[in-house]
Every structure is written in C-alpha cells, then in structure tokens.
Amino acid sequence: MDIFKIEGPTRLCGSVTVNGSKNATLPIMAATILAGGKSVLKSVPHLSDISIFGQLLCELGCKVRRGDNGDLCIDSTVIDNPVGDYEIVRRMRASICILGPLLARCGRTRVSMPGGCAIGDRPVDIHLRGLRELGAKIYLENGYIVAEANGGLRGKEIFLGGSFGSTVLGTANVLMAAVLAKGKTIIESAACEPEIADLANCLNAMGARISGIGSPRLTIEGVEELHPIEYRVIPDRIEAGTFMVAAAITKGQLHINNCRLDDMMAVVDKLRSIGVTIDRADGGCVVAGAGPIGTGHITTQPYPGFPTDLQAQFTALLALGSGNSVVIEKIFPDRFMHVAELNRMAADLRKEGPAVIVAGVKKLIAAPVMASDLRASAALVLAGMAAEGTTIVSRVYHIDRGYEKIEERLNPLGAKIIRENI
C-alpha cells in the first residue's frame, strides 16, 4: 500500500496544467457503447477509475487500449456480454452509467446494484425511475438490476428531480437511453453539470439530437443509430479547484492552465471572498493566496452552485481561516470523513448534522492521517502541505482514483511529497 510523506509548510509557485475531467470521461466512455465501431477519446487522464471502467467495457465485449499519443481508443463493434459484474461495480459506483446505453443498444442488461460508499448511501432509484418511464421493465434479481426493453424504448416527458435535486449519473443514464428511443423525450430537472453538457455534446457529435444542453430541461429527438467519434473531453474543474486551494492554503501563486473559469464561478466567487486573488490568464487563470485566509459560508449545491467535490478541500482551507466559517453539505449529508482526520492535524472542526462549524486556527500540525475517499484525501494532502512537520497520509490509492500522479505535479511547484510503498 502506498503512503505519502508530506513535509510542510511549503509555498507553491509555478505553472500547472489541469487534466481532462474524470467525471466527464466516464459517462462518455459509456456512450461509446451506443455506436458500434471505433471511437477515440482525447485528453483522458491516466487514473485507476478510468482503467477500471476500461476493464468493464472489455468485459462487455469492447476492445479498449491507449494509443501511443495517450488517446483512449474504444472499439465497441461487439457487445456480447451486456452485464455489469458485481466485482467491478463494487469497486466503482460510476459503473452504473452503462445501464442506459446497454439497455438502448442490447434491449436487455444486468448490472450489479451499487452499494453505499464512504460518502453515503447513494441510491439509484431515480436512474431506474427514468428508464422505466422510457418503457423499460426493471427488476432486482440476486443483487443485480435487470432491465429489459423488448418492445424498444419510447420517448416521454420525464421529471428527474429527487429530494437532493438533480442527479448527475442518473441524467447521464436516461439521456443515453433516450437518444435511441422512438420519438421525443424531455428530461426536466436534468443535471446541468458541465460534465453532463460534455456528454450531451459528445452524443450530438455521434449523431444524437439533443437541445437545451447545460439547462435543466433537455429535449431529445430519438434517432435510429449513432456513429463512433473522435472527441476531446473538457478539463477537470474539480482538479482545477483543488490546485486553486493548493495555491491559497500554501500562500503561493499558481498559473493554472487548461482551466475553464466559466465552469467554476461559484468556486471563484468563494475564493475571492476569502481573500484569494484569481485573474484570468491565457487558457486558464493565475491564483495567488498571499494575504491572510478569510472566513466563508459554503453550501454545496447542484451546478451552478458550489460543488460537493470541493467541499473537503475548502474545509481544509477554512480550517486556517481568520475566524469562524460554516460548511453545509446539501448533496451528500454524510460526506465528512475528512473532518476527524483534519482535527488530528489540530484543526478545530465540529460536525453538526450535515454541516461543519469551522473555528479557524493559526496553524495546522502534521500527523499520521488516513484517506477515506477521493476528495477527502485531496483535502489531507492540501492540509499536509500547509501543516508544520511531516504528515503521513495512508491509503493514497483513493487519491490515485481522481488525480493523476499528484505528487509528481505538485513537487515541481515546491511541494515536498514522497510516495512510499509500505
């Protein structure tokens, strides 16, 4: 098992380039199922989640390989085993987004029902409700979701909201099924996240007819078939936001390339109100955190609100703020595994239901801490770079799921992170 030894405090300075988005790539990989043939995806990060998803596609019958230039090539000519096996789905919940495309392409599929994970229960009831509305028969059998559409899928007006708002992968699943359904589908309360817009743009490039992209009302005119594509995925706004916090928490200055600030206005607004300077620059932005870290009130919301995937990193930042802050989690009310670990580093955080009261401290002090999920582990790395002493983060495989070689990208900027296999 790999651990990180992080020596702090350090000040990050220099230029860093954001990779393609993990959460845009995964549903787009699933979308290649819809069109038999060879697709090429560009700007796909080298992450364990991407490899696992590739493995899943291979089990369905696809051929997946990395080209010499790093492109991800998926040949979906043959799909002869439309099954999402428990062994893969339990390792990665995002596997659920093969359900819609497999149903549309094969007319029948079995996908293991995902369980909970470190950030909460994470039900898929809305995915299933949406697919049923399109005419699928869905039932549970031995822990597997069985979906059948023997008479074909039919377009419908569907309200896809739930008690926590829209669902990202639920929208992806229903959208991918609807593009090949007969007639017109309207998805109301669709997720507006840039990753869903990217999926919809990719589907249109494959021949789908989707309008309203980026809005909560998607209109889909079903088509007979799609064709394979070459497509470049958008930059990862969560990785960009993590680098922004890295600049702020180390009182450094980073030029962040390949970053779409327009996708990140809630994040930019929050950082500015905390006292961080963010200026647009060629292809990205320059982020400087020279002054004291202020205080802030953050509530996570569906896009364009503040993203839950940056909640942990901002909590680490506010832990060093000049006073009291409040962080409220409205997407995953249990996503606070980082709180106890940050407190081991002398932060003063108190969890109150789905919120954390943050009393800013003057400094964080290194400690051995344990990563529990992807974003929580990013928060611990950020805290480690700002804390006094050597922080040891164990279970860094969590961070490898979503950040490509993070230490090799932070060290040239001034971080002192050593990966050790113990």
Binding residues for ligand EPU, rule: CB under 6 A, are 23, 26, 94, 122-127, 162, 164, 167-170, 195, 308-309, 331-332, 374-375, 402
Number of helices followed by number of strands (H, E) in the chain: 14, 24
Provide φ and ψ at 307, rounded to 5°: -75, 135
Q: How far is the CB of 219 from ligand EPU (least distance, A)?
A: 21
Nearer to ligand EPU, 333 or 389 (CB): 333
Nearer to ligand EPU, 26 or 271 (CB): 26
Q: Are 276 and 307 in contact (CB under 8 A)?
A: no
Distance in Å, CB of 228 to ligand EPU, minimum = 22
Helices 168-178, 125-133: axis angle to 10 degrees equals 20
**How is the beta sheet containing 72-75 ordered, strand by strand?**
63-66, 72-75, 38-42, 230-232
For tokens 């040239």, what's the residue?
412
**Two tokens at 45?**
């990060």
Residue 234's nearest CA partner among 67, 43, 32 is 43
Give which of 130, 117, 137 is closest to 161, Cα–Cα.
130
User: Catalytic one among 58, 97, 117, 202?
Assistant: 117
What is the rounded end-to-end Cα distance, in angstroms, of the chain? Answer: 6
Nearer to ligand EPU, 293 or 337 (CB): 337
Could you tell me if 376 and 338 are in contact, meaning their C-beta atoms sit under 8 angstroms apart?
yes
Beta bridge partners of 110: 83, 146
Nearer to ligand EPU, 113 or 293 (CB): 113
Among residues 364, 271, 261, the alpha carbon closest in space to that of 314 is found at 271
Residues with Cβ < 8 Å from 17, sequence gap 6 or more?
A: 256, 257, 258
CA 383 – CA 377 distance, rounded (Å) = 10
Taking the least distance from each CB to ligand EPU, the nearer of 8 and 402 is 402
The reply to whether 58 belongs to the active site is no
Q: Record the tokens describing residue 421, joined without a space.
A: 């296999």
- Residue closer to ligand EPU by CB (options 5, 93) is 93
Nearer to ligand EPU (CB atom), residue 255 or residue 335: 335
Query: Cβ of 1: how many Cβ atoms within 10 Å?
Result: 9
Q: What are phi and psi of 153, to 5 degrees?
A: -95, 145
What span, in angstroms and rounded, lies between the C-alpha atoms of 371 and 382? 12
DSSP letter for each residue of 96-132: GGGHHHHHHHHSEEEEEPP--BTTB----HHHHHHHH
Catalytic residues: 117
